Every structure is written in C-alpha cells, then in structure tokens.
Amino acid sequence: MRIPRIALPCAAALLAFVASDAAAFAQGAEAFYRSGDYKSALRGFEEESAARGEDPRVFYNIGNCLFRLGRLPESVVAYKRALRRDPSDEAARFNLQLALAKLGAPPPPPDTFVLQAHRVVESLSPSALLTLTALLETAGLAVLVVGRRRRGLVGTGAAILVIAAGAFGAFVYRAYAEPATEGIVITTDARLRSEPREDLPTTLTLKSGETVVVEERGDRWLRVRYGDRSGWTEASTIGIVQ
C-alpha cells in the first residue's frame, strides 16, 4: 500500500502545530507564574502537559504551582512524576522534600554514596545499562588477566565484575519488571475499607501526603497497600504517580 505524498507534509505540519501550541502555553503559564497568578499558571502548564506529554519540566512547573497554592499533596505527586521521568533533577528532588516536610513526613535518609549511585542507575535507560554492563565486564576481565599474579589487581577486577553483575540486574529489572504503581493521599484523609463499599466500616485512615502502593484500579475505587495492610478507598483521595 502506497502512502500518499501529502501524508508526510501533513504529519509534519500537525507536529509543528502541536509544538507551537505547547510553546505558547508555556510562555503564557510562565508569565502568569512570574506575576503571582498561580491558578492561571497551573492551567497553562496543564494545557502544556496535555500538548507536550512526558516532559519532566512541565510536571516540575505544575508541582511548583500546586505548592504555591498550598495544595501540597498534589505537588508531591507532580514532583514525583517529574523525578520518575528525570531522576537527576535535583530541583524537583529538593522541592519534593520541602513539600513532604511541610506535610510532616519524616526526613529522607542521609544522602550516602549508595543512594547517589542508585539515582545514577535510575537515570539510565535499559540500553544504557546494558552498555554499561558490557563495559564493566570487559574492564573487569581485562584487570583479572593483566593482574592475575597481583592480589590487589585481582580484587579490583573481581569488584568490577560484581558491579557489572549489579548493573545487569538493574537492566533486567528495568527492562522486564512491572514497577509498582505509587499513589499519594491528596485529600485530608483516605479511609480504607475491606471492600469497595461506603457502608462498610473504616479499617484504616491514612493522612494527607502518605504514600501507598496501588494494587487495583477502578473508576471510583482503588485497592491500595500501606505497609502490610491493604484495603479499598475512593479514587478521588489518591493521586497516582505515573
């Protein structure tokens, strides 16, 4: 089947139109934000998000508007969406911790070398992780071959191979594992029930800003897990990080 020649120019024109719309939304939203009109800025950034899609900076800007408007749990959702797409964004990470602190969440663990390494791994695509694995494996084997008679180099080579194995494990997880769906309580509280019914008693009440794992999703109800307890709560009480 032949594609009409006019199809490609039309597709290019459509993409250019969408891009220009997104740029216009961004400019208008930024102007509103600078003037202190955060509600209008939020609408503009949300329209930009609808036009542009997965841009982490748009989610970061949405988070900032929500933070300024005092909608802290929703800002947490937006910052986490930004970090899911760009784990290296330190501004989004800082603002996320600030929002969590205002919500009374416990402080994050100290920023150790392991956590920094974990963030670096998170920022790599599966293909980049596979490339890193191959490079580390090659380097580790080369060190073992060159330094097979020197104990110090043998230990170094073995350590590099262990890191390579860890990188490969991260690749397998990122490429094939289904990540858990995270949710944030965005209302004053979220009341869990044993079944998706309003007439049942509450089994657990979660506070604003608390994090849950979403196990099942419906139009009105969500099944969530908090620690070792799970139950159903209304979907409007939870912001999904996706």
| Burial environment of residue 39 by CB neighbours within 10 A (0 to 12, 13 to 18, 19 or more) | exposed
Element (H, E) at 182: strand 181-185
Task: Kindly state the DSSP code that residue 150 receives in the 8-state scheme.
Answer: -
Higher-pLDDT residue of 9, 222: 222
Higher-pLDDT residue of 31, 22: 31
| Dist CA 28 CA 5 (whole Å) | 36
What does pLDDT average to over the chain?
83
- The pLDDT-based confidence of 3 (bands split at 50, 70, 90) is very low
* Angle between helix 56-68 and helix 7-35 axes, rounded to 10 deg: 30
Higher-pLDDT residue of 20, 25: 25
- Rounded to the nearest 10°, the torsion over CA 131, 132, 138, 139 is 150
Mean pLDDT of 121-149: 78
Residue 207 token pair: 């506070």
| Dist CA 21 CA 44 (whole Å) | 11
pTM, two decimal places: 0.69
| Dist CA 122 CA 174 (whole Å) | 9
State pLDDT tens for residues 115-132. 666 667 666 767 887 888
Q: What is the pLDDT of residue 231?
A: 95
